[in-house]
Structure 1
């Protein structure tokens, strides 16, 4: 029988990359951009600030950012990042070493997802789900920053793999599921577990024999319960009370959940591209299976996991980019089952769209690099300077050689890949890898210049005398700024309203850029600074007037 979509045997759909080439592609996706830059404003600096406290001997079960406890954060990612920072201290700055924890958990996510894809869709399709997940736009930035949510993704992928193993290896599958749930708790806390446990309702369809349903359910739930029980024992009563209150505080009202759901539904078309359209196509192409008594696990499991994750996200956190990450692995697993059923026209259109999009985008990145380094074209160069005043680009040989090699590999790939239903997917993921690699190699000095607080904190510490004593802060600093003050300046300001803060002779205030206000009587401004191009906030330092 000949496949009506592509020439060749109907039972085999060759993927352009297998084995070592596939591992190389995924490594090129994961590793560039993790090292070679400072902790950046927002998520990256915040989480690295917590790791920094661990490296200084503060925290442990209850983590710390600056002087403040960070009770909502679970420790798994931070412990791993601190160990990685120490392990690679001989080679990398501590924050670069710490980010390698993200690469570890992202690799585990892709590996477990490949196992789940193999069990659901067959050995020949094992690479499709990890390729699809790596190609999702929403994963790109978060998988290259210090991000504990990636540790949860690894645990989620392990639970999915465990559920898919139940049919052939029921006890091993239950152990993998339980281990994944335990890891998920250590990565994201109690509120994340419902999205992983709800798919257990499919055990009657996944277990090889009906008599195993109850034992497998009990084993899976028992392993999943180990984490919360041990955590309650390890924490002191006061710490446990704060932790439980924090977990319960994550629950959202019905109105807030509806708002979250609308935000996520508006976000998913671009955030989950191309997994979402492929998942929807899978459901449509196999719609007749829903009329049978037992739809295939390849449909039931990913769909149930997505719905469970969606309900958990909208009811426990505020909808934002990082919160939507748990929606991607189930969509990738569901979409992977529909790639081989795409019509040739749709496959070619997807392939053409990806090749054209990434080729043009790569050319624009090279053009931007030329503007930053050589000032050509001048108009684009002026725009870069306007966004990061004072930045001066310079030519660096190794990054340019790496970018040239990536560009050459891209053109080799799009001209040499064999025709296959998976050609468009492979080109898309390779294109995402190309773009991120080019940005990391050519644009990161400019990005680092604008997103790092290092120059701001350096100016602040120079304005302070060597024995300045304590520093108070008026108002609330952002977590990223609080972390950066600690990392770059060994500054952990005290709240001005506290009894200790009232005795400080130095005060920090975060103010709008155009603010001309003063700190009130008794204070004299001695310094102010901001990140280059920052149009929203400035940091000001005041000294108490003598007398």
Structure 2
């Protein structure tokens, strides 16, 4: 016997979110962060450095090197995408860092679209439908599915951990988009053929080539089981999809083996409690506010989860979320692993909407309203203090945390920030009105607030964030010591990010240190000095400067000039 569904939804509650409003929200979330900023420390600028090396044909495509160092992540696809973008984009049209961001912005758009359509097809499942009323008036399946999908997209945008990591040109954004494509493919299999097949191949192979073959294999195996157990699907349709899923999973595993992408990445937590505490904090804020709603879904739909019918609309996002959380607890970096589970977590959160009580929805609204309004007010006050010096205390704090920073004024940034703030006020006014029918209403303020905060940071605070998070100021200080034409520069102990920053921001020709080198300048990381005598004869070098990063007391570069013989 099929357990009763907990969703009780009327037709008036599934009125769709206006498409223009949803599109505007997505644009406001995607574009800021990809436009107008420098590559940031450290994964962002490191990935960009490898892409630049490949585009300029200075390293092999199958074994890229940056300063003689191989990538920390084995995935090759992200570097290929960036390098191809640089090569095909005219230099007069876009700068290299902007050309790289175009395909990665498209990947974020694909993530949002795949999440929406995946949840839409899950909500069309028989077990996901709301209770049928005795005299009619319940939500019809297409409108209900559209409303649930709108809620899932709002929940994804509202997740606090998505903002920064989804705007970096790293392998993790490629993994995120490929995971979302795989999620969509399995969700849409009972309803479509061509689009899920394409998404399945691209998602599985892309996830493997982006450096996550184990994750691709786990998601593929779990998806095979879910397709086999899917209720309401004919055997004629399930068998081809089962074979296709199994075949592409095997192919992806073989590709990873052929390219030597398999690595043991499981690490244990430290013996003390600090690591577990940091993981707990990460789990708490990274997926907020989707994870409380996801837990509510697990509770209200528990009978369907444990029933023999195997309801895909619950088990599929639950499996994707479980794999991501397991990777978060056992691998590093933890936040990057948790990022891949956000689309599935948003899907679980969306199925909580038909079961939320009005008091819970009101609590979400009030908390979100206070949190994002106070945050936006703080961003504006600090920006005004940077521009005018009033209030004095925020201006003094900025000067202390970012010594040497000179505030910049941009009329365009101000106009965009004012428009975003006005949009937030309109959204709050709409939510406070009597229009309480749509089931996605409880996630409008969280998504709008997250987009508002991101837009304000990427407009009003962008010069400050560039100064604090990029290597530009430090590299310019190094250039001032080296002079106009330093020739080749030897390096000792530099990280991949430092090498990429010196090559791009400083346009320097770097060579790894050696006793036989003829370069007149040497740049070393302070923690790596003095270097081994096999690499550098310290007696032959005269220290010229110690160049710190203005916002990091532990990141210093030493600049040496070859001593006169």
Same fold (TM over 0.5): yes
- Please give the alpha-carbon distance, in whole angstroms, between the structure 1 residues aligned to 2:271 and 2:80: 32
Per the alignment, residue 438 of structure 1 pairs with 456
- Please give the alpha-carbon distance, in whole angstroms, between the structure 2 residues aligned to 1:151 and 1:23: 22
1:155-170 equivalences under 5 Å are: 155-169=178-192
Q: Do structure 1's residue 222 and structure 2's residue 222 form an aligned pair?
A: no
Q: Do structure 1's residue 529 and structure 2's residue 547 form an aligned pair?
A: yes
Q: Do structure 1's residue 35 and structure 2's residue 49 form an aligned pair?
A: no
- 2:16–2:146: 8 Å Cα contact kept in structure 1? no
Alignment root-mean-square deviation, CA: 3.1
Per the alignment, residue 65 of structure 2 pairs with 64
Per the alignment, residue 96 of structure 1 pairs with 98
- Please give the alpha-carbon distance, in whole angstroms, between the structure 2 residues aligned to 1:377 and 1:535: 27
Please report how far the alpha carbon of residue 49 of structure 1 lies from its aligned counterpart in structure 2 after TM superposition: 1.1
Residues 104 and 172 of structure 1: CA distance in aligned 2, closer, same or farther (over 3 Å): closer
3-state SS of the aligned residue for 1:64?
A: coil
- Please give the alpha-carbon distance, in whole angstroms, between the structure 1 residues aligned to 2:271 and 2:192: 38
Please report how far the alpha carbon of residue 176 of structure 1 lies from its aligned counterpart in structure 2 after TM superposition: 3.0
Per the alignment, residue 456 of structure 1 pairs with 474
- Please give the alpha-carbon distance, in whole angstroms, between the structure 2 residues aligned to 1:196 and 1:364: 42
- Please give the alpha-carbon distance, in whole angstroms, between the structure 1 residues aligned to 2:515 and 2:15: 65
- Please give the alpha-carbon distance, in whole angstroms, between the structure 2 residues aligned to 1:101 and 1:114: 20
3-state SS of the aligned residue for 1:507?
A: strand
Residues 328 and 257 of structure 1: CA distance in aligned 2, closer, same or farther (over 3 Å): farther
3-state SS of the aligned residue for 1:390?
A: coil
Q: Do structure 1's residue 300 and structure 2's residue 318 form an aligned pair?
A: no
Please report how far the alpha carbon of residue 159 of structure 1 lies from its aligned counterpart in structure 2 after TM superposition: 1.0
* Among 367, 372, 396, the residue aligned to 2:410: 396
- 1:15–1:422: 8 Å Cα contact kept in structure 2? no
1:344-383 equivalences under 5 Å are: 344-383=358-397
Please report how far the alpha carbon of residue 489 of structure 1 lies from its aligned counterpart in structure 2 after TM superposition: 2.2
1:468-524 CA-to-partner distances (Å, cap 9, x unmatched) read: 4543333x222221110111223354443x4655x5443222126999xx9943321
1:135-180 CA-to-partner distances (Å, cap 9, x unmatched) read: 1111111122222211111111111111112222367645532331
Residues 345 and 169 of structure 1: CA distance in aligned 2, closer, same or farther (over 3 Å): same
3-state SS of the aligned residue for 1:150?
A: helix
Residues 538 and 432 of structure 1: CA distance in aligned 2, closer, same or farther (over 3 Å): same
Q: Do structure 1's residue 482 and structure 2's residue 482 form an aligned pair?
A: no
Per the alignment, residue 44 of structure 2 pairs with 44
- Please give the alpha-carbon distance, in whole angstroms, between the structure 1 residues aligned to 2:9 and 2:560: 75
Residues 173 and 440 of structure 1: CA distance in aligned 2, closer, same or farther (over 3 Å): closer
- 1:510–1:540: 8 Å Cα contact kept in structure 2? yes
Residues 20 and 89 of structure 1: CA distance in aligned 2, closer, same or farther (over 3 Å): farther
Greater mean deviation of Cα atoms: 437-446 or 320-329: 320-329
3-state SS of the aligned residue for 1:537?
A: strand
Please report how far the alpha carbon of residue 288 of structure 1 lies from its aligned counterpart in structure 2 after TM superposition: 2.3
Unaligned runs of 5+ in 1: 234-239
- Please give the alpha-carbon distance, in whole angstroms, between the structure 2 residues aligned to 1:451 and 1:280: 35
* Among 86, 108, 111, the residue aligned to 1:109: 111
1:13-24 equivalences under 5 Å are: 13-14=13-14, 17-24=17-24
1:272-310 CA-to-partner distances (Å, cap 9, x unmatched) read: 111111110001111222453214211111111222333
Residues 385 and 341 of structure 1: CA distance in aligned 2, closer, same or farther (over 3 Å): same
Per the alignment, residue 120 of structure 2 pairs with 118
- 1:74–1:188: 8 Å Cα contact kept in structure 2? yes
Greater mean deviation of Cα atoms: 346-355 or 292-301: 292-301
- 1:264–1:319: 8 Å Cα contact kept in structure 2? no
Greater mean deviation of Cα atoms: 338-347 or 126-135: 126-135
How many residues get paired?
A: 525
Per the alignment, residue 264 of structure 2 pairs with 250
Please report how far the alpha carbon of residue 33 of structure 1 lies from its aligned counterpart in structure 2 after TM superposition: 2.2
Q: Do structure 1's residue 201 and structure 2's residue 240 form an aligned pair?
A: no
Greater mean deviation of Cα atoms: 123-132 or 279-288: 123-132
3-state SS of the aligned residue for 1:70?
A: coil
- Please give the alpha-carbon distance, in whole angstroms, between the structure 2 residues aligned to 1:71 and 1:284: 40
Greater mean deviation of Cα atoms: 71-80 or 361-370: 71-80
